[in-house]
Amino acid sequence: QVHLVESGGASVQPGGSLRLSCAASGFTFSDYYMNWHRQAPGKRRELVASISSGGHIHYADSVKGRFTISRDNAKNTVYLQMNGLKPDDTAVYYCSAALYNTLWGQGTQVTVSS
């Protein structure tokens, strides 16, 4: 059975850091493009960062220089290191796995507020 389970969301102050994790099971993780998305209240879900099976990385302009995506194929896990967090980063963060289909996790809440 396919699972993507995000963790690491929390409430932090502006300027703080968080590391999100997404643990995968039930499919060949190393073959898949892994992505982080976010959805803020009243807004559309947006792609934040992605990493290919070969390690090619893409970031949304809004997070470049602050967020770092990485993957550990031995642990079937993708990470999102988030530094310099801003209130506009407040959202539910989802990971997805894409190849011939797209698989989604349930999301983890990140709140940035003073």
Q: What percent of the chain has pLDDT over 70?
A: 100
Residue 78 · residue 70 · CB < 8 Å: yes
- Tell me the pLDDT of the chain averaged across its residues: 97
User: Alpha carbon of 16 to those of 42, 63, 114: distances in Å?
Assistant: 24, 14, 10
* pLDDT tens per residue, range 21-50: 999 999 999 999 999 999 999 999 999 999
Residue 8 has pLDDT above 90, yes or no: yes
Structure confidence by residue, pLDDT tens digits, 74-114:
999 999 999 999 999 999 999 999 998 899 999 999 999 99
Beta bridge partners of 68: 81
pLDDT of residue 1: 85
Residue 15 pLDDT > 90, yes or no? Answer: yes
Percent of the chain beyond pLDDT 90? 96
